[in-house]
Amino acid sequence: MVNSILPLELQEVVVSKRGRRIVGPVTYTLAGAGTTIVIGPNGSGKTTLLRMMHGLERTSEGRLSWAQAFKEASQRQSFVFQSPIIMRRSVLDNLAYPLTLAGKSRKEANEAAARWAAKVGLGSRLQQSASRLSGGEKQKLALARALIREPEVLFLDEPCANLDGKATRVIEGVLQDAKSNGTRLVMSTHDMGQARRLADDVIFMLGGQIHECAPVQDFFNSPATPETEQFLRGDIVE
């Protein structure tokens, strides 16, 4: 892509909270296309790593840089949280909002909103108050709202946690489409089946560090360290 915001370069980046290092030092390059899945035990730093890459966490050491200026990069990436943040307005308004904010006409924004609602199975709910949607429906809405501006990079923090198989399948389908359309995806999950289904490559977090980072086949078929092997066996690793 011309003027891509990628690569995102992390050099010896550290995130600390109240004087305690919770992630880092991390050196990593996010480039190319496809889906990177971030896995690891509870508290290993997955959420913090995603938030830091997106710009939601202040780094206390190291260097984080996009290929474009920070403001430009911010506008071309999006984030889906584990608990979706939904405006107390209609499904239509929730979806149209990012587009009107970006200067699209109300008509254009409404048309795109209707298209995206249909993609995530909310086509018949456009006028309904979004706050009355179920948890799974809210997550589908949040995903559509994040994708409606066709971000170059999309971060997702366990978007399918607490969702049933059917809702998860819809979300995975939308994510596969987004990837085919050129969005670079970076997503955390605890679901190893989902990691295998979606990943092109895997980041394994352990103790706030990137313990291993490999193409999906290599990661699952020939783990590089005993800790990775233990984790994949379902043993407790800290």
Ligand X SMILES: Nc1ncnc2c1ncn2[C@@H]1O[C@H](COP(=O)(O)OP(=O)(O)OP(=O)(O)O)[C@@H](O)[C@H]1O
| Interface segment toward ligand X; rule CB under 6 A; list 42-50, 101-109, 148-156, 191-199 | 42-50
| Interface segment toward ligand X; rule CB under 6 A; list 14-22, 84-92, 121-129, 167-175 | 14-22
Task: Kindly state whether residue 48 participates in binding ligand X, applying the rule CB under 6 A.
Answer: yes
Distance of alpha carbon 90 from alpha carbon 87, whole angstroms: 8
| Among positions 3, 42, 127, 180, the unique one binding ligand X when judged by CB under 6 A | 42
Task: Kindly state whether residue 121 participates in binding ligand X, applying the rule CB under 6 A.
Answer: no
Beta carbon nearer to ligand X, 203 or 214:
203
Task: Kindly state whether residue 45 participates in binding ligand X, applying the rule CB under 6 A.
Answer: yes
| Interface segment toward ligand X; rule CB under 6 A; list 43-51, 71-79, 111-119, 214-222 | 43-51
Q: Shortest gap between Cβ of 230 and ligand X (angstroms)?
A: 17
Binding site for ligand X (CB under 6 A): 17-18, 22, 40, 42-48
